[in-house]
Amino acid sequence: MTTREFDGIRLEKVREHVWEIPREGDMNVPARVLASESLLEEIGEDDSLQQLKNATHLPGMAEPALCMPDGHQGYGFPVGGVGAIDARTGCISPGAVGYDINCGVRMVRTNLAYDDVRGRESELVDALFEAVPSGLGGGGVIGGDADAIEGALERGVEWAVEEGYGIESDLARCEDEGRRPDARPEYVSQKAMDRGRNQMGSLGSGNHFLEVQRVTDVFREEVADEYGLREDGIVVLIHCGSRGLGHQTCNDYLRRIEKEHGDLLAELPDKELAAAPAGSELADEYYGAMGACINFAWVNRQLITHQARETFGEVFDADPIEDLGMELLYDVAHNIAKKETHEVGVDADGRPAVGDEAVDRAERELYVHRKGATRAFPAGNADVPEVYRSVGQPVIIPGSMGAGSYVLRGGDQSMSVSFGSTAHGAGRLMSRTQAKQEFWGGDVQDDLEDGQQIYVKAQSGATIAEEAPGVYKDIDEVIRVSDELGIGDKVARTFPVCNIKG
DNA sequence: ATGTGC
């Protein structure tokens, strides 16, 4: 048997790209890393594997706790982690969702070809930078009065479209039609709402960006046709989350768990994995508040989409919908938990179980935590929007600003291998602090423009350094693993034309 | 990720 060991954590190779940390001690279930040998070596360099192992202690965790090929260490649970936990007898963990609730990415297609944009990159990047608020702190596309906040938290994209910031077809092209039906705005604190108020329609900082890209490769012609993608076509990618509102909400509930459920917390190997027991008031309140933050993040991406459409309309002197065909391809969430039904091993009492304790397999409602992971449901699944049901849901995976991105479709192995999930990006190789020691923002910006004709504009040079292409893993390798495992299949590849960020 | 710390 092929094995690897990192800091005392041993992994057994189950098959190509599948590595298992066997169950031992207080682990409820084994854990699996979905990675090639080279990606596993990178994942093994930080605390990801220990964090993944810690997460197997969470009550109700179904087999196996997972790390996607782009995984790296995060708060408590790896970014790139998937944990499916019994919604009746288990728990829900804010740290396994992430601070930036519904950080996610959407792709907008256009009728433009690369030739239409070439030579006008500076004009376009300046206009977008002007139109889309970015960077830390406040300032959004709209003011965010009480009605706006309430509409966004309660009704998501539906509210934004009603207010004139989108078109009817945008709704069906978001996970959950852009509205979590179980959102409960009353469980979001006043402080969180105050932080979100003047951030409605803003990119934020860090790895968030808006990028104009050209399609360089099409791998599955029939799927690309369904998605409206063709070689040399221009697309717009928008990556951002729930800003201060989601961050505050995560923090609020972590503090409440510490106060109200210290007994469970004391049993966990890491306090950052703090979780509310399923069925508790706090679990229901967090789930409802998280749903409202999810809606807010969708509105955020919708307002930025509106600004991008308006800007393209002005720059190319055309109607963004009628002439430029700027329809939403799809919007995917990276940091969420959601009640989904999956088949798992169960014990005599019907609880998720493994090994000798598993006497049967049955469908169970699970809190599927995807933290830095993307839902990747295959063709035929009822939760895939009708327009894409015959080919599988679009999965949009951004790479670094020097390497381009991929569009995949949910693969037919995803339900049995990864609770219907795949990777969400290239995955960091080093911390932000280390990145700033290795790179200088201005130099990175010059190299991208001179070497690859990629035009980057940011509020802060430090952000460009933190996001330099060299701080990321090889996106091609991440996608190869997803494609070869059959959890997310390659459809098209894109390359950056211009990029704005915080 | 984040009014870039509790």
Query: Nearest-CA residue to the C1' of B4?
Result: A136
* String of DSSP letters for A125-150: HHHHHHHS--SSS---SS---HHHHH
CB A358 within 8 A of CB A30: no
- What DSSP letter does each residue of A268-287 carry, written as one string? SS-GGG--EETTSHHHHHHH
Q: What is chain A's pLDDT, residue by residue, as a tens digit (502 residues)? A: 899 999 999 999 999 999 999 999 999 999 999 999 999 999 999 999 999 999 999 999 999 999 999 999 999 999 999 999 999 999 999 999 999 999 999 999 999 999 999 999 999 999 999 999 999 988 999 999 999 999 999 999 999 999 999 999 999 999 999 999 999 999 999 999 999 999 999 999 999 999 999 999 999 999 999 999 999 999 999 999 999 999 999 999 999 999 999 999 999 999 999 999 999 999 999 999 999 999 999 999 999 999 999 999 999 999 999 999 999 999 999 999 999 999 999 999 999 999 999 999 999 999 999 999 999 999 999 999 999 999 999 999 999 999 999 999 999 999 999 999 999 999 999 999 999 999 999 999 999 999 999 999 999 999 999 999 999 999 999 999 999 999 999 999 999 999 999 9
A243 in contact with nucleic chain B (CB within 7 A)? yes
Distance CA A288, CA A62 (A): 22
**Residues 62-91 of A with CB within 7 A of strand B:** 75
Per the CB < 8 A criterion, the answer to whether A29 and A467 are in contact is: no
First to last CA, chain A: 47
pLDDT for residue A142: 96
Strand blocks (E) in A173-258: 209-218, 233-240
DSSP state at residue A352: B
Residue whose tokens read 């298992």 = A20
CA dist A9 to A47, A57, A474, Å? 11, 15, 24
Indicate the Cα dihedral angle A332, A338, A340, A342, nearest 10°: 90
Residue A138's pLDDT is what? 86
Is there contact between A457 and strand B, defined as CB under 7 Å from any strand atom? no
- For residue A167 the two structure tokens come to 């078109």
| Strand-pair partners of A458 | A501
So which residues of A are the catalytic ones? 424
A429 touches strand B (CB under 7 A): no
Cβ atoms of residues A404 and A495 within 8 Å: yes
Residue A378 makes CB contacts below 8 A (sequence gap 6+) with A384, A392, A393, A409, A410, A411, A412, A414, A415, A420
DSSP class of residue A174 equals B
